[in-house]
Amino acid sequence: MSGHGDPIPMTALKSAPLKGVAEVPGDKSISHRSLILGAMAVGQTHITGLLEGGDVLDTAKAMRAFGAEVTHLGQGEWTVNGVGVGGFAEPEDVIDCGNSGTGVRLIMGTMATSPITATFTGDASLRGRPMGRVTDPIALFGAESYGRKGGRLPMTIVGAADPIPVRYTVPMPSAQVKSAVLLAGLNAPGQTVVIEKEATRDHTERMLTGFGAEIVTEDTDEGRVITLTGQPELKPQTIAVPRDPSSAAFPVCAALIVEGSDVLVPGIGLNPTRAGLFTTLQEMGAELTFENMREEGGEPVADLRARFSDNMQGIEVPPERAPSMIDEYPILSVVASFANGKTVMRGVKELRVKESDRIDAMARGLESCGVTIEEDEDTLIVHGMGANGVPGGATCASHLDHRIAMSFLCAGMAAQNPISVDDSSPISTSFPVFEPLMERLGASFTRVNK
Ligand code: S3P
């Protein structure tokens, strides 16, 4: 969805104190999975709180193209009438997943064990991202793939007519790859086993259990071993999608760095495989508290309260924490710029193959705002300048990457001089209400067509 229109440059000015309640949208990971698993169930799944961002809307369209009936009832409220495991129809046209790596990789996995052919594409960002990490394991099931050099989209997948179950060790920490293999395993007879050395977000496993699949997770010396029994009949579910911790990260971090702020971000999903940023911020000395801890729909949830924190200290972020905060390094590097001392982020090379090369995008942008950065292939180090210490006054490239655009706009709210992004349009992929939500809290943006 992003990258198809004209770029929308946007500028964040130094903000008044951010105050109030920030109701961020539904979780992107859970939203994709709700639509895909709903399409694999027999009967009607009812979803509330679905993220209506570009990425998820592209997945909804894709599920229709594979034969599911997907209906929008009202804000965030959707139904999916599934076709059952193995019931996918062959799409009549190319599937365009827009900006979404999660969408394309999960859907490729899901269709890989049905006797159908589908061709996938996406925007310029997605067409540059590696798909070999999914086509390698689905080949073991018997699927074939034909893409551009380097395993890039557009790519055609010919699903396996007689799939065989696999045992696969995921070579990099990736919930998308793990999930693609599990979703492929749904339509393979017998047991599919996925092993991950480092635990990544486990929404697919939790949701498959909810939909009635037999799936067992064991922590062993080899890593986390997940065993799925193939060809279940999935039962439709009623799903209330929790609010996205990765979106909550923006108002939370903006409040920590904008003088005088006090913001409440209610109902945030705090699945331990997603909550690493908040632990890190607390270790840095952020005034961040969890209130009203509870459980909703099988996921831990809390209200986050963030207050301006004028004495945060740089820390060494433990590399083993990376999978639980992988999407949050861009905004963490902004907070680190307003802390005192060095923040060292190691074990983060996966950031180089996200919607953009996020190490490079943050390093170049922060440098142009006056921050000293060190980097190598797997590391980002930010030399903090203290609260109110970042000069700003630059235009940063967002590289078709929503999280890069939002990170620099948050930096601009606290820097001495305005910070612009060359294109804010990708924000709509994950956080379509970012601009009005932040403005209600007190942020001040300007953009060309406003
Ligand atoms: C996601 C997994 C992560 C994350 C992405 C969403 C998911 O990607 O960066 O935003 O929903 O499974 P990787 O699997 O590439 O780590």
List per-residue pLDDT tens for the chain, 450 residues long: 444 588 999 999 999 999 999 999 999 999 999 999 999 999 999 999 999 999 999 999 999 999 999 999 999 999 999 999 999 999 999 999 999 999 999 999 999 999 999 999 999 999 999 999 999 999 999 999 999 999 999 999 999 999 999 999 999 999 999 999 999 999 999 999 999 999 999 999 999 999 999 999 999 999 999 999 999 999 999 999 999 999 999 999 999 999 999 999 999 999 999 999 999 999 999 999 999 999 887 789 999 999 999 999 999 999 999 999 999 999 999 999 999 999 999 999 999 999 999 999 999 999 999 999 999 999 999 999 999 999 999 999 999 999 999 999 999 999 999 999 999 999 999 999 999 999 999 999 998 654
* Nearest-angstrom CA–CA distance, 221 and 219: 7
Residue 167's CB is within 10 A of a number of other CB atoms, namely 13
Q: How far is the CA of 102 from the centre of ligand 1 (A)?
A: 6
Q: Which of 37, 58, 176, 277 maximizes ligand 1 atoms within 8 Å of its Cβ, making it the mutation to test the pocket? A: 176
The residues annotated as belonging to the active site are 327
73 CB burial (10 A radius; 0-12, 13-18, 19+) = exposed
* Nearest-angstrom CA–CA distance, 385 and 326: 24
* Nearest-angstrom CA–CA distance, 248 and 15: 18
Q: How far is the CA of 322 from the centre of ligand 1 (A)?
A: 12
Q: Which of 97, 129, 134, 201 maximizes ligand 1 atoms within 8 Å of its Cβ, making it the mutation to test the pocket? A: 201
Report helix, strand or coil for 50: coil
Phi-psi region of 399 (alpha: psi -120 to 50; beta: other; left: phi over 0): left
Annotated binding site for phosphoenolpyruvate: 28, 101, 129, 176, 358, 403
Q: How far is the CA of 59 from the centre of ligand 1 (A)?
A: 15
Helices 132-141, 175-185: crossing angle, 10 deg rounding: 20
Catalogue all structural domains in the chain, each as residue range(s) with its CATH number.
Answer: 10-26+242-447 (3.65.10.10), 28-240 (3.65.10.10)
* Nearest-angstrom CA–CA distance, 419 and 14: 9
Which residue's CA is minimally distant from atom 11 of ligand 1? 29
Q: Which two tokens stand for residue 245?
A: 């911790």
Q: Give the up-direction half-sphere exposure of residue 163: CA atoms within 13 A in the CB hemisphere.
A: 34
Q: Are 4 and 54 in contact (CB under 8 A)?
A: no
Q: Residue 408 is inside which H or E element, if any?
A: helix 402-414
